[in-house]
Structure 1
Amino acid sequence: MPRGRRIAATAAALVAVFALLSVLWLWRDPMGLVRADFARQRIAAGLSLGQIQAGDHRWVYAERKATRADAPTLVMIHGFTGSKENWYPLAQRLSGDYRLIVPDLPGWGASERKPDADYGFVAQSGRLSAFLSALARDPGSPLVLLGHSMGGGIVALTAADHPQQVDRLGLFDAAGVRFADNGFGTEVLAGQNPFAVHDEASLQRYLDTVFYDAAAKPSIPWPASTAVIGWRRRQAAFEQQVLDRIGRSEERFLPGERAASIGQPTLLLWCRQDAVIDPSAMALYAERIPQVVQVMLDGCGHMSIMERPQEVAAAVRNLIEEGEFR
């Protein structure tokens, strides 16, 4: 056989072996495709993984160190059914000299979950304060706390109740106020979980609810979709427990009430097509925090940090660079 044909045959055989190994890998671990993509995004953002014991839980987080010890530290807190990975597109675009800390909240992602523990706004705010205290940080490094959705309600409480820990604040599509009625809110008040996933149709409904921009909507091909559905089914009881606390208990509007005590420079950012936390919530927060800067983005839904990461990054940089830190 001529040398060229031997090389081509060898290459074809290697491709076939690689394809077979890939199929076997996905068959044994369908979530591997999702984890691999998360790892790709994390590496692209220059983040590495770490963990720390803070308060009563073990936290897992992603971190990118700064070149200066006194550079601002940005801590990013995800929302309901979310994880640290939601912030990776934004982290990749925050190319300034910042230290980035992106944790999984206790109970979520890779962080510790304890049976029968409370994971509502108040309990998580206390844990977040403990996490901020546990971070090794240069005394000259100001702390900027960013929260999305449920995470926005948590960081609002933390900034109000522990002002000495937070220098600046960003609330993105934040929960914690009584916004104008929409389909999502009506279902929550009726005791349902609009984010529940139990089959392909409900997975698509979930994605269609939180994303407006089709170009930014994640694609979850089979067999990863089957694995994601199975995983979300196993989370159903926990999700319902958390939603009962943040959506229907006496603390559901506490972040908005306590926001009147927020004195730090604050960024409020929403997407006009948010079908989860109606954009009317931004004005309600603004009424209580007179020193806010408001940014309304168009053509995006609830996942502003993933649908419009470039614009969100610009708003965050303005928050950090506007005026002097105390």
Structure 2
Amino acid sequence: MSLRRIIKTVALVAAVLLCAVFAWLWWDPYRVVLADFARQRIAAGLTRNAARIDDHRWVYAYNDDAPANAPTVVMIHGFTGGKENWYPLAQRLRGRYRLFIPDLPGWGENERKQGGDYGFVAQNDRVARFIEQVARKNGSPIVLLGHSMGGGIVALTAARHPRQVDRVGLFDAAGVRFKDNRFGIEVLDGKNPFAVDDAASLQRYIDTVFHDPLTKPTIPWPADGIYIERRKRDAAFEQSVLDKIGRGDERFLPGIEAARIAQPALLLWCRQDAVIDASALELYAAQLPQAQRVLLDGCGHMSIVERPDAAAQAVTQLIDKGQAR
């Protein structure tokens, strides 16, 4: 085959592939964002999998490259978050523990039912089922970690399903009446302080959840516009969840039922958290006198992203030094 023919063939194949990519993205532009999430997952040494549990399909990341009978760490994300929030911490824990990081039902890549219940109570039961059907293996101890809304869910799971949880970690957790801040006041006024509908509100969202400027993510074009459109489509769902966990009857249930948690526990906050004020740490501590307390400085609501080394150290201490029940 002549050089000219080879060049034409390569050009034709490239054109076909480019058209296929454009068609793939035209059908669902959010795949640009998902592709970057996949890159982050692979960099963290995690594998993607899915499972059907009751009436929802769960997508989760995991790493099972750990010693036999190593503890299993399950990580539950917060409001508007996803499994990707835990990747910096997972990267530091992999190889030592089994790791399972799901998107919660209704969020991320997971299934969302029209009119479904995605509050603290419903989600805590689902998390218990995920542990039972996916994460638990050969009697391996279960370490359940939750961030923000996920912290409230995890507190209920540890209290209501104690046989499924051997140790518990709450990171910047919702579910108690912390000291008033702008975020909390807006929630009580019926607003969604995390709402994103344009570039300015996206930056406000990032500035609210992050404190350390070195850790604030940048979302390049065209992913920024694609992400904004996704959040606009999710606005009604976000509002319905916030109505339930921020203003409804369930809003303080995690803090109340935390008194029933007998397992070794970790409470980790950042002093500059502008979402769940650091006063929440002591409110949870009053219910969990056995808890290891960690208050970090120079970071905001995203402790697991802004200070992953400190978070990993705290989790390791919880596992290694926590006494069995």
- Matched with 1:6 is none
- Matched with 2:237 is 238
Unaligned runs of 5+ in 2: 1-6
TM-score (norm 2): 0.91
Q: Is the 8 A contact 1:277 1:302 kept in 2?
A: yes
> Could you tell me how far apart the structure 1 residues matched to 2:141 and 2:179 are?
35
Runs ≥4 residues deviating over 6 A? none
5 Å-filtered alignment, 1:10-89, equals 28=26, 30-89=29-88
5 Å-filtered alignment, 1:138-287, equals 138-287=137-286
- Matched with 1:290 is 289
Instruction: Select between 312-321 and 40-49 the one with higher mean Cα deviation.
Output: 40-49
Q: Is the 8 A contact 1:26 1:33 kept in 2?
A: no
Q: How far did residue 223 of structure 1 move? A: 1.4
Alignment-mate amino acid for residue 114 of structure 1: K
Q: Deviations over 1:121-153 (max 9, x none)?
A: 001111111111112533331000000000000
Q: Is the 8 A contact 1:107 1:119 kept in 2?
A: yes
Q: How far did residue 46 of structure 1 move? A: 1.3
Alignment-mate amino acid for residue 183 of structure 2: F
- Matched with 1:7 is none
> Could you tell me how far apart the structure 2 residues matched to 1:324 and 1:251 are?
31
- Matched with 1:123 is 122
SS of 1:135 mapped into structure 2 = helix
Q: Is the 8 A contact 1:78 1:105 kept in 2?
A: yes
Q: Is the 8 A contact 1:42 1:48 kept in 2?
A: yes
Alignment-mate amino acid for residue 79 of structure 1: G
Alignment-mate amino acid for residue 226 of structure 1: G
SS of 1:132 mapped into structure 2 = helix
Alignment-mate amino acid for residue 109 of structure 1: G
> Could you tell me how far apart the structure 2 residues matched to 1:181 and 1:131 are?
34
> Could you tell me how far apart the structure 1 residues matched to 2:99 and 2:25 are?
35
> Could you tell me how far apart the structure 2 residues matched to 1:52 and 1:34 are?
22
Unaligned runs of 5+ in 1: 1-9
Q: Deviations over 1:225-261 (max 9, x none)?
A: 1111100000000000000000001110000000000
> Could you tell me how far apart the structure 2 residues matched to 1:160 and 1:323 are?
17
Q: How far did residue 95 of structure 1 move? A: 3.8
Q: How far did residue 324 of structure 1 move? A: 4.5
SS of 1:205 mapped into structure 2 = helix
> Could you tell me how far apart the structure 2 residues matched to 1:182 and 1:75 are?
30
- Matched with 1:311 is 310
Q: Is the 8 A contact 1:41 1:89 kept in 2?
A: no
Q: Is the 8 A contact 1:48 1:63 kept in 2?
A: yes
Cα separation, partners in 2 of 1:54 and 1:89, compared to 1, 3 Å: same
> Could you tell me how far apart the structure 1 residues matched to 2:222 and 2:137 are?
45
Alignment-mate amino acid for residue 238 of structure 2: E
Alignment-mate amino acid for residue 291 of structure 1: Q
Alignment-mate amino acid for residue 189 of structure 1: L
Q: How far did residue 200 of structure 1 move? A: 0.6
> Could you tell me how far apart the structure 2 residues matched to 1:181 and 1:170 are?
24
Q: Is the 8 A contact 1:69 1:138 kept in 2?
A: no
> Could you tell me how far apart the structure 1 residues matched to 2:194 and 2:135 are?
36
SS of 1:144 mapped into structure 2 = strand
Indicate whether 1:325 and 2:293 are aligned. no
Alignment-mate amino acid for residue 311 of structure 1: A
Instruction: Count how many residue pairs are aligned between Structure 1 and Structure 2.
Output: 313
TM-score (norm 1): 0.91
> Could you tell me how far apart the structure 1 residues matched to 2:126 and 2:189 are?
29
Instruction: Select between 252-261 and 316-325 the one with higher mean Cα deviation.
Output: 316-325
> Could you tell me how far apart the structure 1 residues matched to 2:305 and 2:223 are?
20
Alignment-mate amino acid for residue 63 of structure 1: Y
> Could you tell me how far apart the structure 2 residues matched to 1:67 and 1:288 are?
33
> Could you tell me how far apart the structure 1 residues matched to 2:42 and 2:147 are?
22
Cα separation, partners in 2 of 1:282 and 1:324, compared to 1, 3 Å: closer
Q: Is the 8 A contact 2:75 2:86 kept in 1?
A: yes
